[in-house]
Amino acid sequence: MNIDKVSGGTNKALGWDVDRTLVSHTAGALHLRCLDYALGSVLGIKTDVGKDIDYAGKTDRGVLIEASRKYGKEEEFYRRDQEIIEILCLEFEEQIKDCPIELMPGVEEALEYLSKQAGVLNGLVTGNSERVAKAKVRKLGIEDYFIFGGYGDRFENRLYVVKQAVSEAKRHAKEKLGWGSLEVYIIDDTPRGIKAAMEGGVKGIGVMSGVDKDPNSFMPYKPVVVLESLKEMDKLKTIFPFMRR
């Protein structure tokens, strides 16, 4: 695959997915259990989201709607959605205190390199609820890298998560930094995440650190590159050549 180098003076926003892109699968497994807990607590249904739903790359809101529909509780979900999401977040914030989670391979080095770049903003673009995503990165001590975000508690469709993040990144760049143009990239381990990037008019970088290990699964959505893992720093450095702050 040809890898295009970013033009020298272009300011950039990099939107990072969380589960299996930044953070190990143990956090995702806990997250699934908390989704089940929230649905059971409010709607009284016994779900197994991890088995019942093809959840990879979907938003929390989308998964909750899909599970509620499966058990004939969709209308009640819409009446009580904020209560369900609040219980999800509270339960996750409590349970993660004792959950052993790790950074995915290469994340620390990639964030270190990119954070030292001139004209680069990092943010979170994830199907996670905002409080869940922030609890994960806070647990690992990387929360300060991320300036903007798009989150999955507000939208069923991941495209709108991307749009929220892009809007927030551009607003921050203009109002806080005085930047004009901004080139946006989404870094994600799922084809759904890269599809949302394409549909949102921004560039995608696929990372095969999740369930999908077939690079061809990403190709219909025109990623800049598909990485084996974030340890492939040589390819990241080709896309984002170093410009000192």
pLDDT at 244: 55
Closest CA to 236 of 216, 207, 212: 207
User: What is the token pair recorded at 16?
Assistant: 């990072």
- Do residues 204 and 230 lie in contact, with contact meaning Cβ atoms separated by under 8 Å? no
Tens digits of per-residue pLDDT, 204-221? 999 999 999 999 999 999
Give CA–CA dist 188/152, Å, rounded.
14
Mean pLDDT computed over 81-88: 98
pLDDT score, position 2: 42
What is the per-residue pLDDT across 177-195, written as a single tens digit (0 to 9) for each?
Answer: 999 889 999 999 999 999 9
pLDDT at 31: 97
pLDDT value at 240 more than 90: no
Fold of 12-24+102-239: Rossmann fold (3.40.50)
Structure confidence by residue, pLDDT tens digits, 5-60: 444 468 999 999 999 999 998 899 999 999 999 999 999 999 999 999 999 999 99
How sure is the predictor about 243, in pLDDT bands with cuts at 50, 70 and 90?
Answer: low
Decide which of 180 and 132 is more confident.
132
Summarize the confidence of residues 119-133 as an average pLDDT. Answer: 97
Q: How many Cα atoms sit within 13 Å of 60 on the Cβ side? A: 33
The predicted model gives 164-173 an average pLDDT of 97
Task: Say if residue 236 is exposed, middle or buried (CB neighbours under 10 Å; 0-12, 13-18, 19+).
Answer: buried
Residue 6's pLDDT is: 45
- Over residues 87-120, the pLDDT tens digits come to 999 999 999 999 999 999 999 999 999 998 889 9
Q: How far apart are CA 240 and CA 10, in angstroms?
A: 10
Residue 1 has a pLDDT of 45
Contact partners, residue 168, CB within 8 Å, separation at least 6: 123, 148, 149, 150
State the pTM of this model. Answer: 0.93
pLDDT attached to residue 145: 97
